Structure 1
Amino acid sequence: MTTEKPPVLIESLENAVLTLTMNRPERLNALTPPLLMSLLQALRKASLNPQVRAVVLTGAGRAFCAGGDVKEMAAAGVSVQTLEERAAHLREAMDSARLLREMPKPTIALARGPVMGAGFSLALACDILVVSDSVKISTSFISVGLSSDYGGNWLLAQRVGARARWLSMLSPVLSAEEAARAGIADMVVPDAELETEGNRLASQLASAPTLAIGHIKANLNAVESGVTLGRAMDDEALRQMRCVMTEDHREAAAAFVEKRAPRFAGR
């Protein structure tokens, strides 16, 4: 009798929050091609699904993600693909980090235990990074003779500026408190409370005006790309007027007049 293998990525949609759980706990959720492609496909669908108003990325067991599965890489041997073919396949998979960063919905990483390499890159790509007090964070690419992928260098520089050079070249392992002081982690919670606090935050964001959050992300992403103040203000004005025309803005105005809490529909 054949035992069916558990999915490498668990998807759960509840109350407009999509939770994506990397599910290789026996390998500390180390990344493999099947897991990476499952994540990419799930994020592509989530970005277009109006029923999804917030995305949570987390890991099963005692780790968020230990990075790429080095043991599997070594077992694979020498690839017969050309450099260009290998780079193209990696770049396609890396689009998951871009989607986490750019999709017009809030994204949250909930992390405990090891957060390493490409796993760290994915965590950095999320809008908000919540860690437990058990977390151990490191770029770790240099320890296996690699540079970076999944936008890791760029994303880290956005978080910590020039300090990204020290963190990338020396690859220290940061505790939760050190990550928070460096501006990497947005919130530190006791390990036993990670899911509770994460779900509370995700529910709060999922019940917010989703279109407005999408425009806020677009504004901030434009700043990171280096637009001028004038261009940023042009874009802000257009996006603000788009928000004025939404059902959620009308609901907020009515709720203010009626002295009640608004009920946003994400439209």
Structure 2
Amino acid sequence: MPTNDPVILTETSGGVLTVTLNRPDKKNALNTEIYEALVALLTAVKRDPTVRVLVLRGAGDDFCAGGDLSEGLADDDHPLRYFDRIHEVPRLLHELPIPTIAEVSGAAFGAGWNLALCCDLVVASTDARFSQVFTKRGLSPDCGGSWLLPQIVGLQLAKRLVLLAEVLSAAEAERLGLVTFVAEKGQVGSLVAKLAQQLSASSPGALSQSKRLLNESVTQTLGASLADEGRAQTANLATDDSRIAFEAFLSRKQPSFTGRWSLHAQ
């Protein structure tokens, strides 16, 4: 599904889809065109079984400086309708059934940082900077920040990050659990590629079930999560991958997962 939309670039290799925000002259600030392109792309990715991992990055020196404040609303566009549309992006990104990795260099501010937090793993270069910059612009969090931050760091620390709008280094963000890995600027791409390759070689069904269980756990009781785990394992056992994994374990070989369903109607 590679596309070369002016505002986003895509490249696919070995089941890994790399999506690049492509407004480097604006520090990849998010405008209506980018949001619409991402909605279309993420909707297509959700239905494409050949894509096993998605990597989100920014062109140039920065990941994303947040929303493009120079772009005003159309005269006939109500703000609630506008945010309903753009918030399809964080929802789709968070709910994708495949692993997602944010590759962050430079600025990841406001909505840009929140899109990174929607990803399953955040890999930052040592020059990365993070800020919930909204209050400095007379705004409150959007693109999922008000939900994501308390889930990741807890309510009190989330209030610190949002209300003070301080700028965090990559090391500080990693210490707070907001970054998964930090790498030197020249090595972040190779680390992301290594992680993406590892994920793309894993069982897609098992990864999808695991991601869903973890995402939904924050709103469920232990009993509900246990019941969901049972249903997920039942689905996993009905794939070729569970047999492949067991055989590979016994033969001490690396499994080659297919993601195929092994029960077929007669």
Measured against the shorter chain, the TM-score band is over 0.9
Superposition pairs of residues 122-141 of structure 1, within 5 angstroms: 122-141=115-134
The answer to whether the 8 Å contact 2:5/2:37 transfers is no
List structure 1 runs of 4+ shifted beyond 4 angstroms.
Answer: none
Q: Name the structure 2 match of 1:37.
A: 36
Report the counterpart of residue 261 of structure 1 in structure 2: 254
Amino acid at match of 2:146: N
Q: Pairwise mapping of residues 1-267 of structure 1 onto structure 2 (< 5 A)?
A: 7-70=6-69, 72-73=70-71, 76=72, 79-81=74-76, 83=78, 86-162=79-155, 163-224=157-218, 226-267=219-260
Letter in 1 for 2:121: I
C-alpha distance in 2 between matches for 1:22 and 1:266 = 30
The alpha-carbon deviation at position 81 of structure 1 amounts to: 2.8
For structure 1, which runs of at least 5 residues remain unmatched after alignment? Answer: none
Mapped to 1, the partners of 2:148 and 2:76 lie a distance apart of 29
Q: Is the Cα contact below 8 Å between 1:208 and 1:266 reproduced in 2?
A: no
Offset of residue 69 of structure 1: 1.1
Runs of 5+ unmatched residues, structure 2: 261-266
Report how far residue 102 of structure 1 moved. Answer: 1.4
Q: Distance in 2 between matches of 1:106 and 1:200?
A: 14
Percent identity, aligned pairs only, is 38
Per-residue deviation, residues 107-145 of structure 1 (Å, max 9, x unmatched): 000000000011011000000000000001001011111
Letter of the aligned partner of 1:23 in structure 2? N
Deviation at 1:223, TM superposition (A): 0.9
Instruction: Calculate the TM-score normalised by the size of structure 2.
Output: 0.93
User: How far off its partner does 1:80 sit?
Assistant: 2.3
What's the C-alpha RMSD, in Å, of the aligned pairs? 1.4
User: Higher helix proportion, which one?
Assistant: 1
1:59-89 deviations in whole A, cap 9, x for unaligned? 000000000112x23xx3x642364xx3123
The answer to whether the 8 Å contact 1:207/1:265 transfers is: no
Indicate conservation of the 8 Å contact 1:67/1:115, yes or no.
Answer: yes
Count matched residues. Answer: 256
- Residues 55 and 106 of structure 1 are in contact (CA less than 8 Å); yes or no, is this contact kept in structure 2? yes
Counterpart of 1:80, as a letter, is D
Equivalent AA in structure 1 for residue 51 of structure 2: V
Alpha-carbon distance in 1 for matches of 2:163, 2:176: 16
TM-score, reference length from structure 1: 0.93
CA separation in 2, counterparts of 1:79 and 1:247? Answer: 51
Matched letter for residue 66 of structure 2: G
